Structure 1
Amino acid sequence: MLTTSAIDTVVRAALDEDAPWGDLTSEMLIPEDAVATAQLVAREPGVFSGGAVFDAAFRLVDPRITVRLLARDGSTFAAGDLLAEASGPARGILQAERIGLNFVQRMSGIATLTARYVAEVAGTNARIVDTRKTTPGLRAFERQAVRDGGGHNHRFSLSDAVMAKDNHLAVLSAGGTDLTEALRAVRAKLSHTTHFEVEVDTLEQIEPVLAAGIDTIMLDNFDQGDLREGVRRIAGRAIVEASGGVSLQTVKRIAESGVDVISVGALTHSVRSLDLGLDVVILPEAVFPTA
């Protein structure tokens, strides 16, 4: 999903927002021929994500800037580690630094938090997945960061799968529609390659949903006892997803109920950007080489 085109579109928009008519401060203070190196340094441990995005911020400001990535996406690092360097015209580095840093801090924060959730469910059959609770316009970036942290992606958009949630079922119920028959009618219209998921919030809904041949059943906001009972009733006839009330304190217990998938909105909607620093060091050369 995170193609060069997708990266450039988002990063270019961010750069335009940050310097719509140029970087006035750097243009006034910094000689046009000055060069510098900016070093990306970790101020706390974590999991790295967003190397290509960091690179794009500098490349799109000035293609003469070269970025050397010293950490790969998905790798762990310690406080004090040097993660990347950007070298070239100082004005361009100063203009791009905040945008490059903003993206890599957020993506590394998501990757780091995801890795903590993944570690909590180690030894179970559950996989950690994200949700559509992403920052508008940044979904591809944030979903890549989840993968870098060892997690998995849910459907990317509303166009990717059929997922009937509580509000869909409420509309059907208000119209007096039989749930099983309504779901079977949808299944009959779908391609064999299209995944079909239904969210339930009571144990009593499970059998009517299973009768329609659903691929995944989401048990939403079930307590531990009902999760185990839901897994028992489904008995391998569908993938079982747990959602709601998931935190680092609860995720292991949820995984131990036997569910296959645990969706965690907090991976993207409540994450803290990681503390990374970008320190600029002036190079010995006074003039940027033009040759």
Structure 2
Amino acid sequence: MLHPLIVEPVVRAALLEDLGRAGDITTDAIVPADADAAARIVARRDGRVAGLGAALTAFRLVDPDCSVVVEHGDGADVPAGGTIATVTAKARALLTAERTALNFLGQLSGVATSTRALVRAVAHTRARIVCTRKTTPGLRALEKEAVRLGGGSNHRFGLDDAILVKDNHIAVAGGIRPAVEKVRAAVGHMVKIEVEVDTLAQLEELLTLPVDVVLLDNMDPATLARAVALVDGRMLTEASGSVTLDSVRAIAEAGVDMISVGWITHSAPCLDLGLDM
């Protein structure tokens, strides 16, 4: 679970964006200030819950005295029609926070649900599903937690926690060897180094260098299997590029250690949810 100090500023900013300059003028005109109500957060289809903490933070920021009963918490599988949580609060607070809460919960549960599907597809292999930095600006910590709740693992959180030498770095450096030599000289012993290769010839050169992980980019399963055999356990292998639910099984069966997937954070379909008063 993410620390509240990480979650609250993100949710507060989202509420302020929605409240604008005058607040919820529709709800304030219709609903008495002293009216209480209860509402169920309901899943319209099956999915893996993620982002419930952010959703409930939205309600609590608008009504600090609200009470919550959770039936399917973060990391749980909820069936279609199932209740995720019931929130009792001022009626105005429920209606004002509704869209912000469901936006977070639907988006993040969609990430977790998509991750879950990929993880299940490769469960018979050693491959782990990992996310990338292709995240919604401002929501990276929340989306990466959703990946973990879906059974996946996290790649880099930012540019500063590991070295990833990609094709453009290699082009600017003048080749794989000078690129690796430069980064190895620049970082401390605690920093891992990963290098992207597009061909088996590049991989053979990389195997002579002090590298921790190789990113095998846009290789078909047969080529991936040859690459894994060449590496022979000397470094971790990561496959990326054109990974779908249909293709992920064959990629995993090539023997790679990790499969990185950008769309589980940038294009995962939201889990359909509703707030039933």
* Length-normalised TM-score, structure 2: 0.97
Matched ranges for 1:47-58 at <5 A? 47-58=48-59
What is residue 22 of structure 1 aligned with on the other side? 23
- Which amino acid is the alignment partner of residue 165 of structure 2? A
**AA at the equivalent of 2:27:** S
Q: Distance in 2 between matches of 1:32 and 1:227?
A: 62
Shift of 1:17: 0.4
| Letter in structure 1 aligned against 2:219 | F
Superposed, which structure 2 residues align to 1:1-291 within 5 Å? 2-20=2-20, 21-173=22-174, 178-280=175-277
Q: Is the 8 A contact 1:128 1:263 kept in 2?
A: yes
1:208 to partner: Cα distance: 2.0
- 1:64 Cα offset (Å): 1.5
CA distance in 1, matches of 2:178, 2:89: 64
Per-residue CA deviation, residues 167-201 of structure 1 (Å, 9 max, x unaligned), is 1111122xxxx532441342133222111000001
Does structure 1 retain, via aligned residues, the 8 Å contact 2:147–2:153? yes
**Contact 2:165-2:179 within 8 A present in 1 as well:** no
Output the CA distance in 1 between the equivalents of 2:265 and 2:43: 21
SS class of match (1:246): coil
The Cα offsets for residues 45-82 of structure 1, whole Å up to 9 and x where unpaired, read as 11111121111000111202222221121111111111
User: After the TM superposition, which parts of structure 1 deviate over 2 Å for at least 4 consecutive aligned residues?
Assistant: none
Q: Match of 1:194, SS?
A: coil
Counterpart residue type for residue 15 of structure 1: L
Question: Match for 1:6: what amino acid?
Answer: I
Letter in 2 for 1:163: L
Secondary structure, counterpart of 1:151 in structure 2: coil
Contact 1:180-1:211 within 8 A present in 2 as well: no
Q: Give the root-mean-square deviation of aligned CA atoms.
A: 1.2
Displacement of 1:132 after TM fit?
0.6
The alignment partner of 1:59 has SS state of helix
Flag structure 2 segments of 5+ consecutive residues without an equivalent. none
Give the secondary-structure state (helix, strand or coil) at the position aligned to 1:240: strand
Structure 1 residue 256: deviation in Å?
Answer: 0.4
Equivalent residues of 1:181, 1:212 under 8 A apart? no
Distance 1:239 1:19 in 2: 48
Partner residue in 2 for 1:286: none
Q: TM-score, normalised by structure 1?
A: 0.92
Between 1:163-172 and 1:185-194, the stretch displaced more is: 185-194
- The 8 Å contact of residues 49 and 72 in structure 2, kept in 1 or not, is answered as yes
Contact 2:170 2:179 in 1 (8 A): no
- Matched to 1:70, the amino acid is E
Identify the residue that residue 285 of structure 1 maps to in structure 2: none
Structure number with larger C-alpha Rg = 1
SS at match of 1:198: strand
Whichever residue aligns with residue 35 of structure 1, its letter is D
